[in-house]
Amino acid sequence: MRAATPRPRQLVIDADVLQSASARSGDAKAVACREALEAIRQVRHFVVQTPLLEEEWDNHASEYSLDWLVQMESRRRVVHTVEEPRTGLDGALRKLPVTPEVLAIMLKDCHLLEAALAADHVVISKDEKAYAHFYHASASISQIRPVMWASPMRVADECTGWLLAGAKPETKRRVGKRPHRKHPDF
């Protein structure tokens, strides 16, 4: 009996993953990011492309990732949004008692969470510093708690396997649930 095909999900891919993925490099980052992107293509997940993500991807994607994006486009697996989703998250972040440096980090990547909230609540990103800040912010901002954050670089995330299995919602992947050490700047 054949295994059921996983239901494709709409995923938000941070430009840092596209920048690191490479077909030529044997570097651990390049391999992990390439394998994550290949899993996304293999399962036929969709990728969400907001105007800001498109700009970041254009500026930071590797040659491999640009080819991958063309293939995803040709397979109609890219979901284009006309405008940025607005959830008010940036206003909630500005109210937190954090340093200006921490606020800047969160505001820089807040669009990832907003896009994920408008899609299937999944962010694929290598940015552990941003995740650490969002992890702590989730204690005060409940709207980000449903978002799942997976890193191709974090072994415990088993990102590629999870993507191949359909990126099903798992509590342990939610912002604020995945263990993270207390960040000194928060």
Residue with more model confidence, 16 or 182: 16
How sure is the predictor about 108, in pLDDT bands with cuts at 50, 70 and 90?
A: very high
Give the pLDDT score at 2.
57
**Mean predicted confidence (pLDDT) in 65-89:** 94
For residue 137, the number of C-alpha atoms closer than 13 Å in the C-beta half-sphere is 30
Query: Looking at residues 69-94, what average pLDDT do you find?
Result: 94
Q: 39's torsion region: left (phi>0), alpha (psi -120 to 50) or beta?
A: alpha
The answer to whether 130 touches 107, Cβ cutoff 8 Å, is no
**Is residue 1 scored above 70 in pLDDT?**
no
What's residue 23's pLDDT?
84
pLDDT band for position 180 (cuts 50, 70, 90): low
Q: What pLDDT shows up at residue 183?
A: 44
pLDDT-above-90 percentage for the chain: 81
Mean pLDDT of 151-172: 92
Mean pLDDT, residues 35-51? 97
Is the pLDDT at 46 greater than 80? The verdict is yes
CA-based end-to-end distance of the chain: 51
Per-residue pLDDT for 3 more than 90? Answer: no
Two structure tokens written together for 169:
């919602």
Q: Does the pLDDT of residue 182 top 70, yes or no?
A: no
- Give the whole-angstrom CA distance, residue 88 versus residue 110: 10
pLDDT classification of 148: cutoffs 50, 70, 90: very high
d(CA 120, CA 19): 23
Average pLDDT taken over every residue of the chain: 91
29 Cβ contact list (under 8 Å, min separation 6):
20, 126, 153
